Amino acid sequence: MQTHTTYTEPIQQLDSLVLSLKTTSEQLIYVMEEQIQAIISSSPQKIEELTEKQSEIQGVYKKHERAFLDELRKNLTGEDSEITLTNLKSMFPDKAEQIERWKIELSQNTKLLQRKNEQLVDLLEFALNRNANLMHSFYSLFNNKNSHYSPSGQKSEVRSGVAINQEV
């Protein structure tokens, strides 16, 4: 295994890519927070606009992620072990502290992105269930205008919209 103690260009390139990943993930987190607020305020136009924005930013994030992994692969060629930041630290021991900082930042941002994504999914599932319950309530209401009675004069449990093609 060879170590690079003076050659810092790969580290600078990786540092730039880590910064790009960090910035992009922060943008994603911000948009996800905005989406949560749009869902809570029931603003379909805002939700749609933010969803498109999130898709665009996710595309940029994936591009930066691929570039970061490609750069790691390029710097760890010939290594028998996996392509990890830990292995990169052994190749650049003088930059181990900086590489550890990257690892922590990337890990924290990834966890935060996962948490925001889970919040969004949970909120959307809640909204979907509430809408389904509301629709059920609308169609199961009985009042003087939509009540039905059986031939014996008793109130019938036929729901509105269900009595189509039934004998009276």
- Walk along the chain (168 residues) and give the pLDDT tens digit of each residue: 444 444 568 889 999 999 999 999 999 999 999 999 999 898 889 999 999 999 999 999 999 999 999 998 888 876 566 788 888 888 888 998 999 999 999 999 999 999 999 999 999 898 888 887 777 776 666 555 566 667 777 776 555 554 445 555
Beta bridge partners of 156: 148
Q: What is the pLDDT of residue 144?
A: 52
Q: What is the pLDDT of residue 68?
A: 94
SS3 track for the chain: CCCCCCCCHHHHHHHHHHHHHHHHHHHHHHHHHHHHHHHHCCCHHHHHHHHHHHHHHHHHHHHHHHHHHHHHHHHCCCCCCCCCHHHHHHHCHHHHHHHHHHHHHHHHHHHHHHHHHHHHHHHHHHHHHHHHHHHHHHHHCCCCCCCEECCCCCEECCCCCCCCCCCC
Burial letters 21-57, b for 16+ CB under 10 A, else e? bbebbebbbebbebbbebbeeeeeeebeebeebbeeb
Nearest to 62 by CA among 25, 102, 90: 25
Residues whose CB is less than 8 angstroms from the CB of residue 39 and which lie 6 or more positions away in sequence, other chains included: 47, 120, 123, 124, 127
Q: What is the pLDDT of residue 31?
A: 97
Domains and CATH numbers, the chain: 9-156 (1.20.58)
